Amino acid sequence: MARTDASRVELLRGTLDLLILRTLLPGPSHGHAIARHIQRTSEDLLQVETGSLYPALYRLEARGWVAASWARSDKGKRARYYRITAQGRRQLITERSKWDAFARAMGLLLKPLDGEGR
């Protein structure tokens, strides 16, 4: 089962787009699968809310970073599959380097002091 609410991490604003693009890198996927993948890969730390996932997907599509088409799922149902576009890949690269810089900066700033918490 999913982790308890207390241990979940709030998704940072703007990071959902990045996560979706990354998730789509190996191949096309539908909305539900994307949500599941993010949740599992983050060891249940991140849970994507449907309320924000679908608006985000449509937004990415509107920007031309992903393309969508209807196809049959493995269970034979009609599902909307999202595929990352060339433009989306470029976007992912810039976003990821920005994120890396940000994470590094945060890491440096939040480095525990010697003796802290012991």
Partner 1 sequence: MTSLLRKVAWWLRRRRKEDQLLEELQFHLDEETEERRAAGLTEEQARRAARRDLGSVPRVLEETRPLWTWSALEQLAQDSRYAARMLWKAPVFTIVVSLSLALGIGASTGLFSFVDALLLRSLPIHEPERLVQIRVVPVLPGGLKKPMETFERRVFDDVRGRSDVFAAAVGFWPVDRPLITIDGAPEPDREVQFISANFFRDLGVAPILGRPPEAADDDVAIVSARWWRSRFGGDGSVLGRSLDVNGRLFSIIGVAPPRFHGFRVEYSADLWLVSNSQPIALGLIARLAPGVTATQASGAMDGYFRQHLLPRFKGAEQIETEALPAGRGLSNLRDQYRPALLALLALVLVVLLTTCSNVGNLLMLRNAVRARELAVRAALGAGRHRLAMQCLVESTFLAAIGCALGLAFARWGVSVVAGMLPLPAVPDSLTFYTDARTVGFAIVVSLIAALLFGLAPAWRATDVDLAGSLRTSQSGTQPRRARRMGRALVACQVAFCVVLLVAAGLFGRTLRNLSQVDIGYSTDRLLQVSIDTRIAGYQKGQVGPAVRLLLDRVSAIPGVRSVTSLRNAVMRHSGTSVAVNLPGLQRRGDEMWEGAHVGPSFFETMGIDLVRGRTFNAQDFASDRPAYVINEAFARHYFPGEDPVAREIGIVGIVEDVRFHGVREEIVPFMYQKLPTEPDRVNTLLVRVESDARAVVPQIREAVLGVHPRLFTGIRSLGEDIDRDIVLERMVALISGFFSGLGLLLASIGIFGVASYTIALRTRELAIRLALGAGRWSVVRESLRDTMVVFGLGLAAGTAAAVAVVRIGASLVADLLFGLTATDAANITGAAAVMVAVAAAACVLPAHRVTTVDPLVGIREP
Q: Site residues (CB under 8 A) for partner 1?
A: 1, 30-32, 35, 49-52, 54-55, 58-59, 62-64, 73, 77-80
Nearer to partner 1, 21 or 57 (CB): 57
Tokens, residue 88: 């989306």
Distance between CA 14 and CA 61 in Å, rounded?
15
CB of 80 to partner 1, least distance (A): 5
CB of 7 to partner 1, least distance (A): 18
Nearer to partner 1, 69 or 94 (CB): 69
Site of tokens 């604003």: 13
CB atoms within 10 A of CB 87: 13
Nearer to partner 1, 42 or 99 (CB): 42
34 neighbors 45 (Cβ within 8 angstroms): no
Alpha helix ranges (H) inside the chain? 15-24, 31-41, 50-63, 86-110
CB of 28 to partner 1, least distance (A): 14
Nearer to partner 1, 73 or 97 (CB): 73
- Per-residue DSSP letter, 38: H
